[in-house]
Amino acid sequence: PLQAQKKLFKETTQQKADRMQWWTNDRFGMFIHWGLYAMPARHEWVRNAERLTDSAYQKYFDYFNPDLYNPKDWAKMAKAAGMKYAVLTAKHHEGFCLFDSKFTEYKSTNTPIKKDLVKEYVDAFRAEGIKVGFYYSLIDWHHPDFTIDRNHSQRVNTPAEYEKLNKGRDMAKYREYLKNQVRELLTNYGKIDILWLDFSYPGQNGKGKDDWGSIELIKMVRQLQPQIIVNDRLDLKEYDDAWDFVTPEQYKVASWPKDEKGNKLYWETCQTFSGSWGYHRDENTWKSTQQLLVLLIESVSKGGNLLLNVGPTARGMFDYRAQNALGSMGEWMKFNAASIYGCTEAPAEYNKIDQTLLTYNPKTKRLYVHLVDYPLSRLVLPGYEGKVKYAQFLHDNSEIKMTASNGHWDNSDYKKGDLTLILPVTKPNVEIPVIELVLA
Ligand code: H79
């Protein structure tokens, strides 16, 4: 028998399901990585990768002036893409704050732009009806009390070097700073829907729950914002209820993630357009529209969400590649969103169909067959005979004829009990066409 998980709060499973309801329904969110690293424009880890010192990094602070920042445009693009929530980096690992914190001078209000960028984001996204979240980095490469560790921008090799560099640094003070800033974010900007903390790496020269004061922190978070949804990176996995969802980052899960008792977990994969999270001018590894749509559809087909990242430029714009990608997703979502919102993994009685991804809406009892690889005029649904009342394309509600026979004199895929759909030979003008099955 497995050990009972520890609990910090009194919330029941049903109460959690109610709190998570909008999030599981909405499925698709926008991640926004924005900070000083938009200026070097070569990955948000540039300070670590190139071992940049405080003084080498200072020029980005001195010249930070995103004069074209207009989060209303961002919110409109997110909405048009079909995204229902957003998560902005209020502070990333570099330590720079996009908000007017009382606890640091290292903030946007002290740069040439002189604005609380978080405030404008919150107002703009809320105005478009998009739920508002904050990313806050646990790691901080700028704070003088944050001890040098294996993920720091300063690299050291020997224990003696660590000791020397960390003389005078006091994690207890950093812990207070972290708590104070999270309190500011969850107090000064109204109702916040999501808190995305990043990240823990316990072990040698690492940091985890004791370094962050994770238990204290999560208690404060839940007290300030009882309905908030929080990710799983505080290193509190032994508690059932100290986190809400798991966060596979830049990889695909094989199947719906479960805990060790086999319970399905709430989950969200976070993904980038090109690899880097921060704006990367020269990266040439942008995903195709097809790949991006598959990331979304496949997540829903396994019961999860997609948080898709944009890295705005140092002038505060989404660059043309990001705009194009969002636009193409929006084109698809405009006609096919019914297979995403409110949908989840299909019940096991509906067999997998080759070259397709299935999603299911439990309220309307409709099954969505995503034709990832468009078939040639016939699609055999294995074991579906008697299970389907009606079939149509989702984008135009045009009927798709079905037959409980092979539908062709030489359809060798067909077995008794299967259902055959008769499709047009020409693929409809939709990146990934969707068949809507009204289930019996
Ligand atoms: O905020 C985004 C990333 O900066 C942060 N989490 C997402 C949401 C993150 N990405 N990777 N990691 C945390 C783990 C560390 C990976 C590293 Fe590397 C491998 C650090 C150095 C080598 C990736 C590759 C980052 C720089 C090079």
ipTM of the complex: 0.95
Is 168 in contact with 206 (CB distance < 8 Å)? Answer: no
Q: Is the CB of 45 under 6 A from ligand 1?
A: yes
Number of domains forming the structure of the chain: 2
Which residue range is the domain that position 428 belongs to? 356-439
- State yes or no: cis peptide before 199, omega within 30 of 0: yes
The dihedrals phi and psi of 109, each to the nearest 5 degrees, come to: -65, -20
- Across 354-384, b (16+ Cβ under 10 Å) vs e yields eebbbbbbeeeebbbbbbbebbeebbbbbeb
Looking at the domain assignment, is residue 8 inside a domain? Answer: no
Strand order in the sheet with 378-381: 378-381, 419-422, 401-403
Q: Which atom in ligand 1 lies closest to the alpha carbon of residue 43?
A: 26
Looking at the domain assignment, is residue 344 inside a domain? Answer: no
Q: Is the CB of 44 under 6 A from ligand 1?
A: yes
Q: Is the CB of 198 under 6 A from ligand 1?
A: yes
With bands split at pLDDT 50, 70 and 90, how would you rate the model's confidence at 406? confident
Which pairing describes strands 131-137 and 194-198: parallel, antiparallel, or unpaired? parallel
- Which pLDDT tens digit goes with each residue over 408-417? 677 677 789 9
Asked whether residue 48 falls in the same domain as residue 164, the answer is yes
Asked whether residue 286 falls in the same domain as residue 384, the answer is no
Which protein residue's CA is at the shortest distance from atom 26 of ligand 1? 45
Q: Pick from 285, 310, 339: which residue ends a domain?
A: 339
Q: pTM of the entire structure? A: 0.97
Looking at the domain assignment, is residue 282 inside a domain? Answer: yes
Q: Is the CB of 393 under 6 A from ligand 1?
A: no
The Å distance, Cα 45 to ligand 1 centre, comes to 7
Looking at the domain assignment, is residue 148 inside a domain? Answer: yes
Looking at the domain assignment, is residue 106 inside a domain? Answer: yes
Looking at the domain assignment, is residue 409 inside a domain? Answer: yes
Asked whether residue 77 falls in the same domain as residue 18, the answer is yes
Asked whether residue 335 falls in the same domain as residue 406, the answer is no
With bands split at pLDDT 50, 70 and 90, how would you rate the model's confidence at 394? very high
Asked whether residue 216 falls in the same domain as residue 322, the answer is yes
Report the CATH number that the domain containing residue 213 is assigned in CATH.
Answer: 3.20.20.80
Asked whether residue 130 falls in the same domain as residue 264, the answer is yes
Q: Which residues contact 380 (CB under 8 A, 6 or more apart)?
A: 353, 411, 413, 414, 418, 419, 420, 421
- Which pLDDT tens digit goes with each residue over 182-239? 999 999 999 999 999 999 999 999 999 999 999 999 999 999 999 999 999 999 999 9
Asked whether residue 118 falls in the same domain as residue 203, the answer is yes
Asked whether residue 259 falls in the same domain as residue 364, the answer is no
Report the CATH number that the domain containing residue 387 is assigned in CATH.
Answer: 2.60.40.1180
Q: Pick from 271, 306, 339: which residue ends a domain?
A: 339
